[in-house]
Amino acid sequence: MNVNDDLQQRWWNLEASLVERFGKKPDMEAVLFLIGMQETGFIKDKITKEEKQDLMHVAICTVLSSSGFYVLEKKDEEGWPHFKQLKEIPVMPLIEQENFLKDHILLYFEAQEK
């Protein structure tokens, strides 16, 4: 079995569980948005484009922190986490970037289940 096949199967399993929970299939941005909301506790009826980008940034930093790319430095007065980048993210083709991020997202959800 190819490693990418396993990654894809794990990703489909995550999508299926999110469909079950939310009623629709999320794309990568939606998954990152959900992680950002979970990490910040930020919930509002109307979320601006900038707030959505901030939530997705928090999610990316959070999921990549498990591999030592980022570390949580502090939380500000409003409870927003601030990260410090510890090492550069490797340059890779787009499909590899997507798989790299998917793998880290899956690791995040696996850690949440424990």
* Average pLDDT of the segment spanning 22-28: 91
**Where is pLDDT greater, at 45 or 83?**
83
For residue 24, pLDDT over 70 is answered with yes
Query: Tens of pLDDT along 37-58?
Result: 999 988 888 989 999 999 999 9
Exposure b/e, 8-31, CB count within 10 A at least 16 = b: eebbeebeeebeeeeeeebeeeeb
**pLDDT category of residue 2 using cuts at 50, 70 and 90:** low
Query: Tens of pLDDT along 66-80?
Result: 999 999 999 998 889
Helix (H, G, I), strand (E, B), or coil: what is residue 28?
Answer: helix
112 contacts 63 by C-beta, under 8 angstroms? no
